[in-house]
Amino acid sequence: MIAKANEDLRTKILEGTITKLITIPASQHRIAVDQLCPVATEVVSALQQAGYMAFIVGGSVRDLLLGKKPKDFDVATDATPEQVKHVFPRCRLIGRRFRLAHVRQKGVLIEVATFRGSHDAGKGGELQDGRIIRDNVWGSLEEDAMRRDFTINALFLDPVGGDISDFTGGYEDLLERRLRLVGDPETRYREDPVRLLRAARFVAKLGVEADERTSALIPELAFLLADVPPARLFEEVCKLFLTGHAMRSFEALQRFGLSTAMFPALKPSGESGKIVADPLLMQALRNTDDRVSRELPVTPSFLFASLLWQPVWEIAQQDMENGITMHDSLLLASEPVFSKQSTRTAVPRRFSSVSREIWVMQARLQKTRGKRALRILADRTFRAAYDFLLLRAGQDTELEPLAEFWTKAQVGYKFPARKTEARRGKPSGRRRRKGEGRRGGRGRKKA
């Protein structure tokens, strides 16, 4: 373990003004060469040979130090995007406010970003809600470290030389399993409120614990999430609940008081920022973690069907008491619930429509006689609806006979291939008419 920084140095770290570089040699961090992505190493090497600084950065370095397998590898450099393109002529430059280079080699995509700089006073803008908006500018290695969100994401690994450069104390934080923001917490959260969720996700995913300065303001600033685009928050929900740590993510959201800010359609518990923990949802999250651990598919459709079932069922029950069928009641109830939830997370129609089908199928599964049952088995949503019925039966013993019926009904039944699988390898589009060429036009007359 590296030596503890002295008090003056630690104060600078907390203030985000540290300029002292700590170098961790390969003999100390022990990240082996074969743990790195060969393509990322080649990209860094090519940039260094062209005279630029370049490092593997961010989550991949963090994960390797924690003994985890990185999902992807990113590179940071002092080369501008245009200079990166000069080194890699076939790379693509993307983005407007902050341009990035996408380098693809051997089927692997490496994102190359130019070091980001600090901002002079008055350069940035501030919205009326207090959220800070700043344009990105190029900077030095030190400035790039100071612009990163958490110290554990501000480590720079040179795969050629082997050293890790640390300007923020992130290496020590990883050793002590501590999550700490770089700089002033309120400023960093206002710059990007999604960092509130990232703090909860890292606590759940990495097994780290947020320090007092990082965690104290989270409940107080949860309102800032209302100004984040709902489409972006949908992606964050998927990262929280569909990557193998759903239960821990839910617990972290509850602990940090972020649940009601993220799920306005769910019933508040009375405690600040917390929602009522529906037993069906809790079991669904446990099942999701189990499926991810067994490398089975998980979908946002089933996740949101589980998340929003409680309010949908409560509304549907009121309609059924007024004589509306269960099928129609569930369909009607889905509209106001999804409408309320969409103010925070914009669930794409391709997922929300399947969630609705899962709910409506709960009514169809009540029909167990004759050929109707066979038609239900052939429905594309049957298996997801059946899994959902099992969740409901786990909370309501009256549904156990129905769940048992559909369990037995599947014995020996050959399910049709899914639509996407059935079309695989087959030509798409309409059939050509007689006399048409391959491009859809009439065949040419012979000269």
Contacts of residue 181, Cβ cutoff 8 Å, sequence gap at least 6: 149, 150, 151, 188, 189, 195, 199, 213, 214
Residue 110 CA to its chain's centroid (Å): 19
Residue 295, classified by CB atoms within 10 Å of its CB into exposed (0-12), middle (13-18) or buried (19+), is exposed
Of the residues 72, 135, 227, 290, only one is catalytic, namely: 72
State the maximum Cα–Cα separation within the chain, in Å, rounded to a whole number.
90
Q: 189 to each of 131, 162, 198, 220, how far by Cα in Å? A: 8, 33, 10, 11
State which amino acid sits at residue 88.
F
Gap between the Cα atoms of 192 and 182, Å rounded: 13
Residue 133's DSSP bridge partners are: 125
Is 278 considered catalytic here? no
Of the residues 78, 144, 149, 173, only one is catalytic, namely: 149
Of the residues 63, 74, 163, 166, only one is catalytic, namely: 74
Is 72 considered catalytic here? yes
- Phi and psi angles of residue 57, each rounded to the nearest 5 degrees, phi first: -135, 170
State which amino acid sits at residue 352.
S
Residue 222: CA count within 13 A, CB half-sphere: 22
- Phi and psi angles of residue 440, each rounded to the nearest 5 degrees, phi first: 95, -10
Is 319 considered catalytic here? no
Residues identified as active-site: 72, 74, 149
